[in-house]
Structure 1
Amino acid sequence: METNQYLDVFIDESKDNLQVVNDKLLELEKEPTNISLVEEIFRAAHTLKGMSATMGYEDLADLTHKMENVLDAIRHEQVNVSTSLLDVLLQSLEYLEEMIMDIADGGEGKKDVSKVVTQLQAIEAGEQPISEVESNAATLAESPVDHQMKVDQFEETVIHQATSDGQQVHYIKVTLSEDCMLKVARVYMVFEVLEQNGEVIKSVPSVSELEDENFDQSFEVILVTGISEEELEAKIMKVSEVSEVKIEDFNKLMVDQPTVEQKAIKETEIQEEEAEINQNSKTSEDGTKKKSAGNKTIRVNIDRLDVLMNLFEELVIDRGRLEQISQELDHNDLKGTVERMSRISGDLQNIILTMRMVAIDQVFNRFPRMVRQLTRELGKDINLQIEGAETELDRTVIDEIGDPLVHLIRNGIDHGIEMPEERKAAGKPETGQLLLKAYHSGNHVFVEIKDDGQGINQEKVIKKALENGVITSEQVGNLTDRQVNELILASGFSTADEISDISGRGVGLDVVKNTIESLGGSIEIDSVYGKGTTFSIQLPLTLSIISVMLVIVQDETYAVPLSSIIETAVIKDTDIMKAHNKRVIDFRGSIVPLVDLKEVFEVPSNGKEQDEFYSIVIVRKGDQMAGLIVDSFIGQQEIVLKGLGNYLTDIFAISGATILGDGEVALIVDSNALIK
């Protein structure tokens, strides 16, 4: 049978069924006696097994069949649900997801799953399962040879970013001499050397185990650094009672054996917009059948929607041109026709944008399993709450927001929420709360990550910022609480004062900030020390068609996004004051610095002298404001956002360009960069 024509349907249906299995397994952990949940998981697994066998993916079908046997034993009460059993089932689910992703990438869906199959068969036979999480420590302690350290999704992203920035990632194994008496002191001295020369991403055994002297003679770390292996080895060997140091390129170690977590990054590829043509009949109380309404949907390949969007963007450009021509000719019939076309194209624009909207739960639904895994590894008790998962965003934004949220959630679990005993000593409930919330407000979507952990120690942040040269001592007195909190978003910023698997809150948070701002969004941090922290992300609904204010600077036209503008104003030159050698104005009781776009973009002069009045566009980023000086305003307009191409990357304060109705190209101003 020719199966290629059914491949897309198979992948979509498989992802649907795997999501059902994922959600219901997490629910089953909370309600282990709820057999109806097991029935739902069994049905989804059974459907997946049948489809896999039909398509010829035997490894996929075989693993699903083994899972099905265990689920059958649970629903017939031959096996009891336990945390270890769920660990094995969730591990099996990860393998299934990897196999489906391999098939989606053109592979054959093959994978060595013998280890988890053996565990499933043991469970089916009535043996007590030992999960991978529980067996890791024992395996590491027993292994006499070097092993490849596993990194999770967060750590993998940090390593990838460091490599992109030209830094080196080293795998380091340090062995202490047999007669070493103060092992913990030597470990501390080694870590002090490491942290003076880079960032420690992970250690095995963990930091707490090293501090408790729960290791033999050796330990391993992953270090991001800018120095060579030879130089680093020489520095470590200077620590007394270190007998051997082994250093290798971590990225080379991982080439031949990618970890589960590395492959799991592929999960950030969002599924195609989905639904089913499903017109089912249902029987009414009197026995007659009524036709179901409201279930008429169809799967559409996202590439087709992209093509449709591109064509409509060209239509928007031509619409602007027609509107300008009709104004110039002043022909009533032409004006009426153009106005009608503008209304119709506006309705069409709303429909197309709605078709591209995807519920954010496609990103949110992978976090419960991640939180469960991290809390077990860290020994914490955390309750994850999700609100507003039905909130919709443009598919382009959805594709990019996954990794920043992974960073922030990992940050909240790892550094925000304390250990149960610490929470109890501080008078808090032992179970920490982590809230992931999304909601619409105007033309934006807000995503909040809130924890009730230890919050941000602002004194420590300021001290570290001064040491790192992020701020000067003169600036300290002028910083607001929010500005102090946002210092942790600086590149490589860390407030850790002792060795840590991930040194402080700062690792990776600059990546979060850069990604969000590249989407036209912003991030704010509110924190009360000892009470908790809230990260608030503001994102645009869509990235392709935006509303702007067109302004004139000399003889050039620029576009300022309306989402950044508070208001426009015309002021006298006598209203401009000087503060710290910069021009400022008093705007409703606030001192707002002025930025002259003519100077920023080095616009050639047209020979006209500046009169006594200035046209100002007041823009905002968080609680910071600036006034952009322009020559005049054209007005509000909807424009199509176009990239500048591969040759014009990283242009300061320019986020893109657009084509106006008269064919002129206008650059789009990134006001966030100007406020920085």
Structure 2
Amino acid sequence: MSFDADDEILQDFLVEAGEILEQLGGQLVDLEQSSGDSDLLNAVFRGFHTIKGGASFLSLEPLVQLCHRAEDVFNALRNGERSVDAQLMDIILPVLDSLNDMFDRLKAGEYPPDADPAQLQALDALLQGDSAPAAAEPVAVSADAADDEFEAILEAAQDKPAAVADTPAATSSDEISDDEFEALLDELHGKGQFSAVPDAPEAKVEAPKPTGDMISDDEFEALLDELHGQKAAPGAKPDAPEVAAAEPAAAKPAEKAPPPEAVAEKPAAKPAAAREAAAPQGETTVRVDTKRLDDIMNLVGELVLVRNRLSTLQSTVENEHVSSAVANLDVVTADLQNAVMKTRMQPIKKVFGRFPRVVRDLARALNKEIVLEMEGEDTDLDKNLVEALADPLVHLVRNAVDHGIEMPDARETAGKSRAGTVLLKASQEGDHIELTIADDGGGMDPDKLRGIAVSKGLMDTDAAGRLSDHECYNLIFAPGFSTKEQISDISGRGVGMDVVKTRIVQLNGSVEIDSKLGEGSSLVIKVPLTLAIMPTLMVVLGEQAFALPLVNVCEIFDLDLSKTNIVDGQQVVVVRDKPLPLYYLSEWLVEGRSRADRKTNGHVVIVGVGTQRVGFVVDELLGQEEVVIKPLGKMIQGTDGLAGATITGDGNIALILDVPGLLKAYARKY
């Protein structure tokens, strides 16, 4: 069923409510661990309440039904009618999943399906107290919640009708009627009697005298100041004596200090001029379609190419003014590039936000006790990378929970705490982002990994014996390699890990793993800040220029190629006492080149993919250059070892090399 609604209103609702749903996932898991956090409980209540209001306006009844019941449940929690526990969260979290599913339908232009009757019944059972624990103490609502002033007015009108003279009695419904709302506004405008102190109907606040049919901004501001000043101070008694508030217009100081047990006196109202000076002068943010950002980034990329071209031409023109102009252009282009990149940046917490729920659900399914720690959630990276890293990180976290952390009894026997810890950390290191997924579980046994590699036919016993422990750990990224004897529907370290590594490599990133038996494992992922513009090392093979991604380049040196060695039929070069395979790129990429054309001297570029290091022999080195990746033409699209093309500073075309693809397609397996 298609959904026919005002597109602009619907899109605004999807954006706002979508952000709330993202926050609710983490808030609910945090609430389970901190059930006494009143601010968190109120935030969750407001989240469901806000979504319900927007859905009701758009006549999205399935969302209204679920949010309404969830809101009632959290209202009961706020009133102390029951407490937060794992059983309650086992009901609420699937409700959140259903709301997310409904949102996905809405984004696709479909009307959401009816709410699951079983979920509605489960929520009703929570409200009716079926199998509910003993009632907890009512959760105290923060006295300084200034951002909820107007909500407080509405709730007070509904729940405390005696506080407003002549206001119609509140009904048992959780929504205020139109007549009640109109009466409330009349009271605020005319008589101005309102009590912000629970159970103290005699406390009165005089509202500013109306000057017309509508309350002015200054009067409403003053009213809020009055209400804020009348809020209960910490430790104040519910039956506080009546306190008369000073009139906002006069802002007279109190003649006599109130007794200690009295409600705190409000500060004097600020003059209108001061309020206007302090008020923001307009919106400080604006929503921009991501396609526009992509278009701007593409234009900046073209500007970078022009900058490179002018820099090359400038070297041929001996003119001080031209050199100065090109230098200024270089600075402006770099600043513009950084500014546009920042507009595309998003905090990694958009990905991290899903992991508390993932870890919580897995821990309960596996009967494990796990604590998730997250660091560096505000680290920014390109929005495309945020989306691309989501699935690999989920897989790695699931592996850490399922295969890394031991069962509570086993941990206790080993002298550890029953609860294992999974650390998720992000940080910026230069022009790269570093992500760490670590656990304090049982770690990996390198000897066991060697045995699995031999049993699966990945290598013979002698080759496995020559592997270092670090190389053994990286065996888990080999296709089909798994340390788990029984494959579960959750994960297993090694199951699909080759896919994870491939995905990270496609992002021009790398992944390293380390482990210590009995102490835990750690995976470190490094990815560039952005995929739009890539720093490269320009080399020449024959007469054609090629670009090697700088992320893969480890070191460069000149070599007397007559002094290389042969190991198992493979030419190698010894670098710091370690033999590395040596390959002539021109024999792979230049037509007509063969071993007979090899020179006695050459430039060697050591490149790395994960823990693998090899040497590429190139004819000429041109230096570093930032390039903009352009797609390959149909004739060569999909060619092994080529990632794209770019325009060099001299105006020629250079092919961008895909180092992992090159090794997979041409290098000898070893």
Same fold per superposition (TM over 0.5): yes
For 1:46, the equivalent position in structure 2 comes to: 49
| Contact 1:494 1:505 survives alignment (8 Å) | yes
For 1:5, the equivalent position in structure 2 comes to: 8
Which of 540, 543, 547 is residue 531 of structure 2 equivalent to? 543
Distance 1:668 1:602 in 2: 14
Higher mean displacement: 655-664 or 345-354: 655-664
Matches within 5 A, 1:335-354: 335-354=323-342
| Contact 1:99 1:111 survives alignment (8 Å) | no
Deviations for 1:399-433, whole angstroms, at most 9, x for unmatched residues? 11111111111111111111111212222211111
| Contact 1:462 1:476 survives alignment (8 Å) | yes
2:109 maps to amino acid: G
Which of 542, 545, 556 is residue 544 of structure 2 equivalent to? 556
Deviations for 1:470-499, whole angstroms, at most 9, x for unmatched residues? 122332232121211111112222223457
Distance 2:390 2:423 in 1: 16
| Contact 1:555 1:606 survives alignment (8 Å) | no
- RMSD between aligned residues: 2.8
Distance 2:431 2:600 in 1: 36
| Contact 1:554 1:606 survives alignment (8 Å) | no
1:302 maps to amino acid: T
| Contact 1:559 1:666 survives alignment (8 Å) | yes
Displacement of 1:371 after TM fit? 1.0
Which sections of structure 1, spanning at least 5 residues, go unmatched? 131-279
SS in 1 for 2:574: strand
SS in 2 for 1:626: strand
Matches within 5 A, 1:611-630: 612-630=600-618
For 1:400, the equivalent position in structure 2 comes to: 388
Displacement of 1:329 after TM fit? 4.3
Shift of the 37–658 alpha-carbon distance from structure 1 to 2, 3 Å rule, reads same
Shift of the 87–47 alpha-carbon distance from structure 1 to 2, 3 Å rule, reads same
For 2:102, the equivalent position in structure 1 comes to: 99
Aligned: 1:36 with 2:24: no
1:385 maps to amino acid: E
Aligned: 1:26 with 2:23: no
Which of 328, 348, 353 is residue 365 of structure 1 equivalent to? 353
Distance 2:368 2:594 in 1: 65
Distance 2:485 2:334 in 1: 56
Displacement of 1:673 after TM fit? 4.5
| Contact 2:511 2:524 survives alignment (8 Å) | yes
Deviations for 1:602-627, whole angstroms, at most 9, x for unmatched residues? 44459996654211222233444322
Which of 87, 94, 97 is residue 84 of structure 1 equivalent to? 87
Displacement of 1:535 after TM fit? 1.3
For 1:67, the equivalent position in structure 2 comes to: 70
Matches within 5 A, 1:578-657: 578-605=566-593, 612-644=600-632, 648=636, 650-657=638-645
Displacement of 1:645 after TM fit? 6.0
Matches within 5 A, 1:112-131: 112-128=115-131
SS in 1 for 2:558: strand
| Contact 1:363 1:398 survives alignment (8 Å) | yes
| Contact 2:424 2:435 survives alignment (8 Å) | yes
- By relative contact order (CA 8 Å, sep 6+), the higher-ranking structure is 1
| Contact 1:382 1:433 survives alignment (8 Å) | yes
| Contact 2:450 2:465 survives alignment (8 Å) | no
1:57 maps to amino acid: L
Shift of the 65–497 alpha-carbon distance from structure 1 to 2, 3 Å rule, reads closer
Which of 446, 451, 474 is residue 486 of structure 1 equivalent to? 474
Distance 1:579 1:101 in 2: 57
Which of 520, 527, 535 is residue 515 of structure 2 equivalent to? 527
Matches within 5 A, 1:137-156: none
More strand by share: 1
Aligned: 1:508 with 2:507: no
Shift of the 454–17 alpha-carbon distance from structure 1 to 2, 3 Å rule, reads same
Distance 1:305 1:500 in 2: 42
SS in 2 for 1:20: helix
Distance 2:383 2:443 in 1: 33
Higher mean displacement: 281-290 or 63-72: 281-290
Shift of the 499–511 alpha-carbon distance from structure 1 to 2, 3 Å rule, reads closer
TM-score of the superposed pair, with normalisation by structure 1: 0.73
1:73 maps to amino acid: A
Distance 2:500 2:635 in 1: 25
2:579 maps to amino acid: I
Displacement of 1:660 after TM fit? 1.8
For 1:380, the equivalent position in structure 2 comes to: 368
For 2:377, the equivalent position in structure 1 comes to: 389
Distance 1:646 1:119 in 2: 56
Matches within 5 A, 1:423-434: 423-434=411-422
For 2:200, the equivalent position in structure 1 comes to: none
For 2:301, the equivalent position in structure 1 comes to: 313
Matches within 5 A, 1:230-245: none
2:118 maps to amino acid: K
SS in 2 for 1:328: coil
| Contact 1:496 1:503 survives alignment (8 Å) | no
For 1:135, the equivalent position in structure 2 comes to: none
Distance 1:534 1:115 in 2: 41
2:362 maps to amino acid: L
Higher mean displacement: 642-651 or 93-102: 642-651
For 1:414, the equivalent position in structure 2 comes to: 402
Which of 445, 452, 456 is residue 444 of structure 2 equivalent to? 456
Displacement of 1:674 after TM fit? 5.0
Shift of the 111–459 alpha-carbon distance from structure 1 to 2, 3 Å rule, reads farther
Displacement of 1:451 after TM fit? 1.0
Aligned: 1:356 with 2:344: yes
| Contact 1:455 1:533 survives alignment (8 Å) | yes
Shift of the 295–606 alpha-carbon distance from structure 1 to 2, 3 Å rule, reads farther
Displacement of 1:67 after TM fit? 0.9
Shift of the 285–406 alpha-carbon distance from structure 1 to 2, 3 Å rule, reads farther
Shift of the 502–351 alpha-carbon distance from structure 1 to 2, 3 Å rule, reads closer
| Contact 1:451 1:532 survives alignment (8 Å) | yes
Shift of the 542–285 alpha-carbon distance from structure 1 to 2, 3 Å rule, reads farther
Distance 1:46 1:498 in 2: 45
Distance 1:629 1:654 in 2: 17
| Contact 2:564 2:573 survives alignment (8 Å) | yes
**Percent of residue pairs bearing the same amino acid type:** 36
| Contact 2:630 2:644 survives alignment (8 Å) | yes
Shift of the 27–292 alpha-carbon distance from structure 1 to 2, 3 Å rule, reads farther
TM-score of the superposed pair, with normalisation by structure 2: 0.74
Displacement of 1:532 after TM fit? 1.1
Distance 1:675 1:294 in 2: 56
For 2:151, the equivalent position in structure 1 comes to: none
